[in-house]
């Protein structure tokens, strides 16, 4: 990931203003430690901090068209850039960067080219010929982008709000799947797939089509000129990513630096479910596995730095970001600059444990739509900023546009969880990769029950965070929280503790309003309670809140993976008969 900063329409064009923008851009240096650049045109500035993944030698930014009248600063990866170059044969390319196509696509097609891009991206493009500009963000919001306004009428864009929060009177999170044009002064949605209207799809489940779409999504994300690996927790999603990537590497020389053996990475407290499960998957796949342990105290010591980087006080995000933040530092120390991760699967397939309570397929589908649309506020934010804090790029194949179209186009009846018929959460994904002749994963791993990331790294992690917060936030402080924090008032001591840290770094009201309101619960408490009122007694956003659903709800860390695996060993013919009888 890179860091971008654009300031357009400044009243001050002095050298001191340029120096200030360079200073602010340096706040994003962690995102792009490899090089920095800035382009000034009259009262417009485009700055860039580069993490070099593709074409490290010549792809420095900002990037230009042939006569440098079009300038672009972009954070992202354009996976179909080779295909797009074929459509731009009349243009001259200066670099091998995948991002250079953006400037030439604008020349060729004007502002209506963004939907041609297959990738993750946030960019600002300046056309000096008429002094207009556009800004755009990828379909789901995998890459972060903020938009702000200065008192002098200037408009700002930045990868993280720390680069604009001090100089902008107001700022917001730029909406995913949108483009902003200075010509209209408005945001317009460029990403509008059929499922986005939340109509109930009706396509029949095609397991091979789903499998092929995911394999393509993984393979295209192996586009790199630097060492890479896979974040492997041992759960279904990361294990499938690792399995597909490992298969591809065995028959294609993708990573010359590290050969054809895939590297995998996992973190957890000593004896945690994730460490055990990941080791089992890594041994099966034959990956070069790296295992990192951390202590509760090490995680607590990192909290302030984590919140500064992820720019949120959301409880579930802080819990899950801290181990990921610590692991990213270790990974970067090994010389790795890019990893694949499994975010997005639970939102697409209804994988969270509260989906067991979905009353019908219509409700399930609408909730998956809502979850995907909110990813940029939660898991995408966590995965991007936790890794980018150390100059590491995370790519997420489950959020591939074409894969989402396939997965969200099927009749949601196939996604309904029906244990009596052998259909656990994400059954359609599990069965798609249930290959008897050439197994992707062992059966008990393929059908292993979901573990929340913040639980999987070790159940005592959440308990330790709560204990620490309880020791530092008094009853009186929490009782008066509505006066201290009238907006998005924290309702627990843990939430209060994170909020207090956040406010020290980002004291403006605009900053706190970029975080979703109310106490966040990873299992979407509001919907869970609507589906089953009994869940109102279990509001903790841990997987253990899913009493009666999660196999490890009352078990020790050692027993949990075993019970989960036993629950997953279901007769395949019974599964098929059950599904065929109900769809």
Q: DSSP per residue over 190-209, as a string? A: ----GGGGTPPP-BPP-HHH
DSSP 8-state assignment for residue 67:
T
Catalytic residue status for 99: no
Element (H, E) at 393: strand 393-395
Closest CA to 222 of 340, 352, 72: 340
The two tokens of residue 365 are 């589908």
**Can you tell me which residue has the tokens 């270790």?**
330
The torsion angles phi and psi of 187, rounded to 5 degrees, stand at -85, 140
Closest CA to 78 of 136, 6, 160: 136
**365: Cβ–Cβ under 8 A, 6 or more apart, which residues?**
198, 200, 201, 412, 415
CA angle 425, 429, 331 (to 5 degrees): 95
> What does the alpha-carbon distance between residue 540 and residue 526 come to, in Å, rounded to a whole number?
12
> What does the alpha-carbon distance between residue 268 and residue 455 come to, in Å, rounded to a whole number?
9
Q: Are 279 and 289 in contact (CB under 8 A)?
A: yes
> What does the alpha-carbon distance between residue 123 and residue 72 come to, in Å, rounded to a whole number?
7
> What does the alpha-carbon distance between residue 266 and residue 293 come to, in Å, rounded to a whole number?
9
**What sign results for the dihedral spanned by CA atoms 263, 266, 270, 274?**
negative
Residue ranges of alpha helices (H) inside 292-400 are 296-301, 303-310, 315-333, 345-349, 361-373, 379-388
Q: DSSP per residue over 130-178, as a string? A: TTEEEEEE-SS--S--EEEE-TTS-EEEESSGGGTTTT-SEEEEPPTTE
CB count within 10 Å of CB 434 equals 18
Q: Are 113 and 105 in contact (CB under 8 A)?
A: yes
Catalytic residue, candidates 2, 44, 99, 380: 2
**378: Cβ–Cβ under 8 A, 6 or more apart, which residues?**
314, 316, 317, 516, 520, 522
Helix (H, G, I), strand (E, B) or coil at 38: strand
Return the bridge partners of 114, or none. Answer: none
CB count within 10 Å of CB 361 equals 18
The two tokens of residue 441 are 């994963």
The two tokens of residue 190 are 């460029």
Closest CA to 514 of 158, 193, 192, 180: 158
**460: Cβ–Cβ under 8 A, 6 or more apart, which residues?**
269, 296
Residues acting as catalytic residues: 2
């Amino acid at each position: 990931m890179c860091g971008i900063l654009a300031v357009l329409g400044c009243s001050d064009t002095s050298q001191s203003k340029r120096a200030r923008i360079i200073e602010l851009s340096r706040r994003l240096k962690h995102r792009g430690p490899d090089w920095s650049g800035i382009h000034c045109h009259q009262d417009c500035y485009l700055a860039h901090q580069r993490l070099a993944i593709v074409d490290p030698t010549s792809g420095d930014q900002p990037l230009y068209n042939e006569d440098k009248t079009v300038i672009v600063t972009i954070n992202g990866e354009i996976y179909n850039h080779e295909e797009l170059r074929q459509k731009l044969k009349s243009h001259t390319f200066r670099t091998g960067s995948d991002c250079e196509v953006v400037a030439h696509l604008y020349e060729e097609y004007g502002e209506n080219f963004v939907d041609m891009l297959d990738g993750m991206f946030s960019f600002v493009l300046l056309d000096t010929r008429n002094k207009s500009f556009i800004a755009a963000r990828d379909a789901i919001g995998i890459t972060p982008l903020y938009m702000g306004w200065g008192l002098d009428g200037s408009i700002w864009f930045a990868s993280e709000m720390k680069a604009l929060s001090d100089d902008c009177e107001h700022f917001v999170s730029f909406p995913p799947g949108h483009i902003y044009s200075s010509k209209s002064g408005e945001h317009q949605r460029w990403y509008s797939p059929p499922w986005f209207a939340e109509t109930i799809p009706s396509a029949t489940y095609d397991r091979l089509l789903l499998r092929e779409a995911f394999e393509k999504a993984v393979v295209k994300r192996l586009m790199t000129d630097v060492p890479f690996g896979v974040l492997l927790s041992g759960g279904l999603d990361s294990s499938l990513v690792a399995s597909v990537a490992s298969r591809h590497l065995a028959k294609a020389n993708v990573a010359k630096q590290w050969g054809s053996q895939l590297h995998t990475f996992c973190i957890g407290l000593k004896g945690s479910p994730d460490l055990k499960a990941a080791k089992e998957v890594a041994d099966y796949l034959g990956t070069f596995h790296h295992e990192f342990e951390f202590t509760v105290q090490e995680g607590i010591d990192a909290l302030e730095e984590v919140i500064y980087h992820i720019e949120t006080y959301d409880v579930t995000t802080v819990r899950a970001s801290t181990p990921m933040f610590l692991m990213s530092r270790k990974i970067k120390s090994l010389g790795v600059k890019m990893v694949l991760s499994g975010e997005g699967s639970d939102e697409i397939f209804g994988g969270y444990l509260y989906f067991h309570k979905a009353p019908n397929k219509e409700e399930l589908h609408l909730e998956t739509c809502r979850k995907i649309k909110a990813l940029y506020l939660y898991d995408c934010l966590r995965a991007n900023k936790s890794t980018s804090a150390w100059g590491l790029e995370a790519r997420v194949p489950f959020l591939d546009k074409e894969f989402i179209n396939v997965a969200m186009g099927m009749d949601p009846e196939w996604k309904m969880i029906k244990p009596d018929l052998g259909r656990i959460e994400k059954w359609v994904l599990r069965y798609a990769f249930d290959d008897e002749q050439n197994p992707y994963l062992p059966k008990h791993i393929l059908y292993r029950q979901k573990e929340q990331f913040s639980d999987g790294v070790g159940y005592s992690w959440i308990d330790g965070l709560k204990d620490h917060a309880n020791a530092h936030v008094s009853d009186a402080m929490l009782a008066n929280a509505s006066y201290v924090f009238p907006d998005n008032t924290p309702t627990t001591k843990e939430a209060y503790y994170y909020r207090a840290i956040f406010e020290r770094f980002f004291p403006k009201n605009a900053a706190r309003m970029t975080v979703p309101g109310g106490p966040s619960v990873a299992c979407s408490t509001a919907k869970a309670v609507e589906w089953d009122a009994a869940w109102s007694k279990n509001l903790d956003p841990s997987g253990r809140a899913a009493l009666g659903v999660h196999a490890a709800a009352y078990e020790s860390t050692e027993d949990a993976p075993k019970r989960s695996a036993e629950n997953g060993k279901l007769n395949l013919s019974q599964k098929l008969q059950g599904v065929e009888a109900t769809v």
